[in-house]
Structures are given as structure tokens and as C-alpha cells.
Amino acid sequence: MAGIESSAMASGEIDPGNEFPNGEMRILGLIGDPVSQVRAPAPMTQRLRHGGLNAALVPLHVPAVVLPIAFGCLKLIRNLDGLVITVPHKIPMAELVDHCSERARLVGAINVARREADSSWSGDILDGVGFVRGLTHRGFNPEGQSAFVIGAGGAGCAVAAELAVVGAAVRVFDVSSDRASALATRLSRAGYPVTAADTPDPSGFSLVVNATPLGMRPDDPLPLDPALLSPEMLVADVVMKPRVTSFLEQARARRCEIQLGEAVMLYQLDAQIEFFRENLVVGAPAAR
């Protein structure tokens, strides 16, 4: 039997029982600028297939300057059912979709969007969910803790909001003081204890988070002075590539516990799949 199977494969025949990708496959796109750093396509596609969904996540490099045009074109692809969104598109995409969840409106950004039955598009933000799940998985309960978040962009807003929702006292710093103040005001008005910081000083905080893209490139500056870190802090990053950023290396050298940026992605995959599931076609060939 093995000889027959080998002969069939050598002749170019396809096993229809395990044909993937295939013409009925549903597509999820991962859009960013750049996308070379993303790690979600492989584990997301694997989980989709193991869940019986005939779907895959495909990275798409969409330059920021053409985002509205690109999204308009992507909506015309009939087997594209949704998008995972990374930097720098999370905030502008919240303005381009038709509907946003309450959480996304609070954050002011989205990182997932799906096509609804009426062809409208809905968005949600799950970065903070993944980040907090990563913390709790490692045994760090953010409730009642103090958190210093560097960055008030899409990821920073999501992380700060979710930390506040689960009961942490949050302070946010951004190189744009207006952006940090706007986030703090928005969350404070919603009843959450969030303030803006004038300087990137995390002294006295139990959790320190780099929620900026700093660290993706070898010549990036550090998000704050590592001399301000102390061993009782848990230091986390949202940057996934490199896996251990210079910031985390500096934190570890100062005997801080660290959380890798990949936790944001790995611990939100299930939430993303649930977000997309109702719009995807069941019946994918089983993964081997």
C-alpha cells in the first residue's frame, strides 16, 4: 500500500481527502505594515483546521498610506471572511469598519474584523484579552496591582483598558502626551482608574509593559531607562520579533520576571477563532 501511495504522489495525483489548501477554503487576512514580524499565521491556521474549519490565516503587507483603498478592495474578495489587524492599522481600521464592539469603542482601536451576513464589517480588540490571559496563566493576577504601560497606540490602549477592566490601577506614558491624556480621560470617564504620566518612570509599579513597537529593529532605542527597573517588577513586552527584545534582556539582567510579546498572540488565538467561527465554513480536511 505504501508503494501505491508513493507512486500516486510521484505522479502528481492529489489525495482529495486531505487536500489543503483547496478551492472552498475561507481566507482570513493578517494586515500590517510590515508583516514580516508576525507569527500568528501558522498557529492560527493549525487551530482552525483542528477545529474542523476549512480556513487559513494569510499575511498581507498593506502600506499605511493605502489602507482605506486596500480595505475597500479586500471587501470585494468573496471568500475573505475576516481580518486580523496589526501595527499601524489598529486605530484607523476602527474608523473603516461599520460596527465596533463596546470594548473596541472604549479602546479606540480594533485588531480583528469580520464580514457579517449583511456584508457589513464588525470589529473588536482582543490584544488586551490575550495579554491578561498570559499574565494569569503565569500566575500573576493583575487585580489590585499597579501597572505602568508605555505606549498609547492600538496595543497600548488595548492593554491599558483590559488591565483596568480586571482591576489594576494603570498609568500610561506616550511620547505624545496628548495621546496618553486622551486614553486616560476616555477610560476614567468610563469609571476605570487610569492616569497619564509625564515621564517614562515606572518606579513603584508591580507591572511594566512596553506596548510600543520599539524593539522590532536592532537600532531602536529602549522604551525607558532600564536602571529604573527593579527585581520585584514583572516586565512585559508586546513585540514578538525578536522573541526576547533588548528591553526584556535588560529587565532580565536586573532580575525581573519577564513576559514575552508572543503571549499577546498565543493567548488570544482562541478568542479570535470564536470571533470568526460563526462566519467560517465547517468541514476542513483534518490536519496531520
Report, as residue numbers or ranges, the catalytic residues: 90
In contact, 28 and 81? CB cutoff 8 Å: yes
For 254, which DSSP code? T
What is the three-class DSSP state of 189?
helix
Going by C-alpha positions, the residue among 275, 288, 228, 286 that lies closest to residue 129 is 275
Instruction: For cell 500566575, name the residue.
Output: 139
For 239, counting Cβ atoms within 10 Å of its Cβ (0-12 exposed, 13-18 middle, 19+ buried), the class is buried
Which residues face 82 on adjacent strands?
Answer: 28, 114
Greatest CA span in the chain, whole angstroms?
A: 71
For 50, counting Cβ atoms within 10 Å of its Cβ (0-12 exposed, 13-18 middle, 19+ buried), the class is exposed
For 176, which DSSP code? S
For 15-20, the CB contacts below 8 A with 24+ separation are: 17/285, 18/285, 18/286, 18/288, 19/285, 20/49, 20/54, 20/284, 20/285, 20/287
